[in-house]
Each structure stands twice: as C-alpha cells, then as structure tokens.
Amino acid sequence: MVNTCAGTASVAKPAPPSGDTDCKKTENARNNEYNKMTNKNGQLTTNQKAVGPGTTMTGAQIKKGRGTKYKSGHSHKVAQQKNPNLAKGTTSKTSNMDCAGQPYNHSSASHSCHAEARVLDDFFKEVGKTSTVKASFVFNTLTKKASGKFQKIPCPNCHKMMCHAINTCKVEISICDNNNKKIDMKDHCNFSSDDERKAKYSALKIKLPLFP
Ligand SMILES: [Zn+2]
C-alpha cells in the first residue's frame, strides 16, 4: 500500500517484544520446557503426576566469569508432595549447595525435584558444594495455581532455597515479573513473616504464591 503521507507518517512496525533482554532470553529457554510438556494441540499434557497445582517451568540464565549459560527445567506437581520442604537439613536428600554448612534437602530424583532448586543444585555440583564463586542467575518461572492459571514467582520452597543461596553462597539472583522486568530477589528475602513476603511480591504485581 502506498503511503500518501510520506515524510510525515511512518509505516507501522510490530511492537518490539517487551521486557528486559535477560528476561526475554530466559522466557525462550522456558518455552522449550513448555513445549516438552504440551501435546501437539498446544495443551499441557494430561499426565496427572506431572501437571496440576505446583507444576513449575523455569528458564534460567547463569553467568559465571565471562560465561553465560541457559538452562530450563520443570517440576511435576508431585515434587510438592515428595519434596515438600527444602529446609536446611542433613538427610540423604541433601543438595549440592552447602556454602555455610547448611545444605538444603533436595532430591534430584526426577519426580521429586523442584525446578529452580535443580538449577542451583546442578550449578553447585559443578563448581563445588562450598563454593562462593561469583555468579548471577536470572529465573523466569511459571508456577501453576489451583485455579489453572500460572503465576510468575517461584514456589515457596524454591524461594527459600534461592534466598539461602543469596545469603550464604553470595550469588545474585533475579526473577522476572509479570512485565518481564528483572527484579533483584534479595529484596524479597529476609522477611519477618510470610505475610510480609507476600505483600512485597504483591506490590510488584507478581501474582501471589499458591502455597502458604
Ligand atoms: Zn519449587
């Protein structure tokens, strides 16, 4: 079509994708995971073990030194039942993250693992359990709620393990909010109550967590 107002109007271009670059890249990584979990009609698989409240998909960016890697992962809803508490512990399910002599419980068995926890676990397996190597992570997560909708924040269990990584392993962790904007997660740790944590998330327009 001829633009009759050449010089005064420009041809419309598609809007650029929104969000921060890191969040867009991690969203792409997460979409790989989504594709694995959907059937050819684009619907989430009906595998009852896998999909339900608590099903999580995440895309992660890991920067260490000059290197940048992308990983993706999902966790089945049964992870919440089989590994309901990633608390500090010393069980046989101890994670590979042990910077302050306080490893978290985390089983890497496929049906029990949590998505973001798995990414951290794999990282510390690679760099050493007690490593405080300088590294930064960006997580772009979707967690399925009971309503069937997804929220963009880690499940409360991964939240705790991620905060532990920030506080004891001194890594930097950001998450991507509903607008695909990066948020420094350390501002979301160290609350005196869970209500305070929820209020903080809410203020940033990240949907509230499913689990208390
Ligand atoms: Zn989780």
Reported as a single tens digit per residue, the pLDDT across 153-163 is 888 788 888 98
Assigned domain for 152 exists: yes
Assigned domain for 69 exists: yes
Q: At what angle do helices 156-168 and 115-127 cross, to 10 degrees?
A: 30
Assigned domain for 44 exists: no
The pLDDT of residue 194 is above 70 = yes
Assigned domain for 173 exists: yes
Assigned domain for 87 exists: yes
**Gap from CA of 161 to ligand 1 centroid (Å):** 9
Assigned domain for 159 exists: yes
**Gap from CA of 92 to ligand 1 centroid (Å):** 19
**pTM reported for the whole predicted model:** 0.79
Domain that holds residue 69: 21-30+53-203
**Gap from CA of 68 to ligand 1 centroid (Å):** 23
107 closest CA partner among 44, 161, 53, 38: 161
**Gap from CA of 119 to ligand 1 centroid (Å):** 11
Assigned domain for 8 exists: no
**Gap from CA of 41 to ligand 1 centroid (Å):** 27
Q: Where are the alpha helices (DSSP H) in the chain?
A: 21-36, 78-82, 115-127, 156-168, 194-203
- As for how many domains the chain has, the answer is 1
Q: Which residues contact 109 (CB under 8 A, 6 or more apart)?
A: 82
Average pLDDT over residues 1-21: 51
**Gap from CA of 56 to ligand 1 centroid (Å):** 7
56 closest CA partner among 109, 117, 138: 117
The segment with the largest mean pLDDT, out of 45-49, 92-96, 105-109, is: 92-96
**Gap from CA of 209 to ligand 1 centroid (Å):** 11
Give yes or no for a contact between 209 and 201, defined as CB atoms under 8 angstroms apart: yes
Which residues are bridge partners to 22 per DSSP?
Answer: none
The CATH number that applies at residue 103 is 3.40.140
